[in-house]
Structure 1
Amino acid sequence: MPELILHHYPMSPFAEKIRTALGFKKLAWHSVHIPNILPKPDVVALTGGYRRTPVLQVGADIYCDTTLICDVLEHIQPEPTFYPAHLKGVARVFAQWADTTLFWSSMTYSFQPKAQADLFKGLPPEAGKAFMEDRKAMHANMVRLRTGDATSAYRSYLRRIAHMAEEHDYLFGLEPCIADLATYHPLWFTRRQAASLAGILATTPAVLEWMDRIEAIGHGAMEKFDSASAIEVAKRADPLPAAQKMLVDSAFQDDHGIPLGTRVTITPETFGTEPTEGTLLAATRTHYTLEREDPRAGVVHVHFPRIGYVLRKVEAA
């Protein structure tokens, strides 16, 4: 069983998705708490620029984005599965909707001014201000929902989720799948981090009961770790050979006219669009892999899903 290191912070909803995924798989993991705003020098030493949360580290292999991280965990521990055979397509599509459309409705609703006291409880005023300014910068190229529109959408989505939860213990049947994990974390944020606004969930009791079942899964066996030690792990390790990568495919799929071995950047399409630059090692139907070298972390391979990310060739100056 490989040593799993999760770089995250407690308030992060996407980190809660992966913490619950680790619990679902009953996996042991090392927990590295990272800053919730820039600068994040230890994270960037591993990723090369990507700053979204969480990041999964396995030796000198760095996995970005929760969609790809879940694929890695599925490879490591196939049972119980995130992707039941009869639901594989619909569960992934539903999860993508939950991680995007549902997520942004929830975040816009949950970050209303009336929830600021919940979100930054115990912190000095300047910490809350710094967080909001950081997130404003991350949203720079996004169209933002207005609070009223987001609230209306969130209420509708909760009713639709309730219709599913009323029929089964979980959204698609008797066992949870990736759709449950992706749907849970935006609602968890409202319930646990923006408590003064959590009354919106009370109008859908079936959703609250379903959330209780997901919460009961837990987070697996967590052990505290520190970022300096994580960087040392990367430096002492070699990236896994292609045949041992914990990813579902390896065949080259060229949709850009960019050959392997080219210097490229990979950038999130929206939200936190800091690029990662490196040498393109893999471009498969599901993921990209870059090789890069850092003075502190050594040679690392950084992996991204294809969906939601932009691949560009680095042009000579």
Structure 2
Amino acid sequence: MADLILHHYATSPFSEKVRVAFGIKQLAWTSVLIPNIMPKPDLMPLTGGYRKTPVMQVGADIYCDTQLIMMEIEKRAPKPPLLPVGQEGEARALAMWIDRTIFWSAVGVVMGAIGDQLPEAFKKDRTEFSGRPFDGERLKAAQPMAREQVYAQLSLAEQILRDGRPFLLGAVPCVADCALYNPVWFLQVRMGAGPAPSPLDRLPKIVEWSERMKAFGSGKPTEMSATDALEVARAATPEACKVDELDPSGLKAGQKVSVTPDDTGKVPVTGTLVGLSNDRVSIIRSDERVGDVAVHFPRAGFIVTPSS
């Protein structure tokens, strides 16, 4: 199997979602550490402007957003599976709901606690990323509401686990567990006070579950420099993709398109459409430092538009 190269940084919660998946599967993978704010000069040649963390690279194929990264890991290393047979849709839908709701409430709790301590460069970066001013005082004032939202949302997972099952959908972890570990881990590592900072102190099943997840570790990483990762891309050729000719968008292979996240980090990435299905969109783009690369995005949560 080609090397799985993860571009990430240590405190990135969405990176932890992927790292724990590597741990569950006990995968060997390659770690490239990137800055936690822009500029990211050794990442942009690969992504064409996409700035969220993490990004996964396999040769000259670049995978953006953990929705798709998790599916690509599953395809390339299917054992043990993260999609329970007969519950694939439930696992993926639950993961996306967690990513889009619980995570942002957890961010509100953490940023309300530490936002006024962060450097100005970080605040400026996150203002550009979110499209809203990073206001430490406003975040601090809103923290109680964010904490209660986290409590209400995680209480649903607490109820799921109350019947004694070790993981969200049964006896083994799935993509939904990895997604939920993201905000729970973020609260634990950023809020301190042991494994149960508020509101986790009211959710004992979630805390027990998080210890089971933590025990998986993060697989078997080896380090690589960002410049070496660029050389890997330059030396490789993107894998073949296919465009669904009956796709309801009407988009066609060879068409120039832009792909943009619909929530935050709304930087369009432009290239030639080479892959399109119900769950992913793939474009070819070229950069002088890496040559031709294929950049892949999940379909849900991304806007694809024709580009002149």
Deviation at 1:162, TM superposition (A): 1.4
Contact kept? 1:30, 1:225, Cα under 8 Å:
yes
Deviation at 1:287, TM superposition (A): 0.6
Deviation at 1:64, TM superposition (A): 0.5
Deviation at 1:116, TM superposition (A): 4.6
Q: Larger deviation: 166-175 or 67-76?
A: 166-175
2:145 maps to what in 1?
A: 149
Q: How does 1:94-133 map to 2 (within 5 A)?
A: 94-112=94-112, 114-116=113-115, 128-133=119-124
1:246 maps to what in 2?
A: none
Distance 1:259 1:98 in 2: 33
Distance 1:52 1:147 in 2: 24
1:13-56 deviation digits (Å, cap 9, x = unpaired): 00000011111121111100001111111111000010100000
SS of residue paired to 1:258: coil
1:38 maps to what in 2?
A: 38
Distance 2:237 2:86 in 1: 37
2:248 maps to what in 1?
A: 255
Distance 1:252 1:174 in 2: 40
1:207 maps to what in 2?
A: 206
Contact kept? 2:243, 2:253, Cα under 8 Å:
no
1:245 maps to what in 2?
A: none
1:271 aligns with 2:264: yes
1:236 maps to what in 2?
A: 235
Deviation at 1:140, TM superposition (A): 0.8
1:289 aligns with 2:282: yes
The one-letter amino acid of 2:106's match is S
Could you say if the C-alpha distance between residues 182 and 226 of structure 1 is closer, same or farther in structure 2, counting changes exceeding 3 Å? Answer: same
Contact kept? 2:5, 2:56, Cα under 8 Å:
yes
1:186 maps to what in 2?
A: 183
SS of residue paired to 2:50: coil
The one-letter amino acid of 1:180's match is D
Deviation at 1:2, TM superposition (A): 1.1
Contact kept? 1:252, 1:285, Cα under 8 Å:
no
The one-letter amino acid of 2:19's match is R
Deviation at 1:275, TM superposition (A): 0.9
Q: Which runs of 5+ in 1 are unaligned?
A: 243-248
The one-letter amino acid of 1:233's match is V
Deviation at 1:93, TM superposition (A): 1.1
Contact kept? 1:253, 1:285, Cα under 8 Å:
no
1:175 aligns with 2:172: yes
SS of residue paired to 2:260: strand
Distance 1:222 1:293 in 2: 29
Q: Larger deviation: 179-188 or 128-137?
A: 128-137
Q: Which runs of 5+ in 2 are unaligned?
A: none
1:78-125 deviation digits (Å, cap 9, x = unpaired): 12111111221211111111011111111111111x3358xx7xxxx6
Contact kept? 1:253, 1:284, Cα under 8 Å:
no
Could you say if the C-alpha distance between residues 24 and 252 of structure 1 is closer, same or farther in structure 2, counting changes exceeding 3 Å? Answer: farther
1:56 maps to what in 2?
A: 56
Q: Larger deviation: 21-30 or 289-298?
A: 21-30
Provide the TM-score with structure 1 as the length reference. 0.89
Provide the TM-score with structure 2 as the length reference. 0.92
1:161 aligns with 2:157: yes
Distance 1:93 1:176 in 2: 15
Give the counterpart of 1:309 among 292, 297, 302: 302
Deviation at 1:250, TM superposition (A): 6.0
Could you say if the C-alpha distance between residues 222 and 15 of structure 1 is closer, same or farther in structure 2, counting changes exceeding 3 Å? Answer: same
SS of residue paired to 1:42: coil
Distance 1:194 1:232 in 2: 39
> Over the residues paired in the alignment, what is the CA RMSD in angstroms?
2.0
The one-letter amino acid of 1:203's match is R
The one-letter amino acid of 1:278's match is G
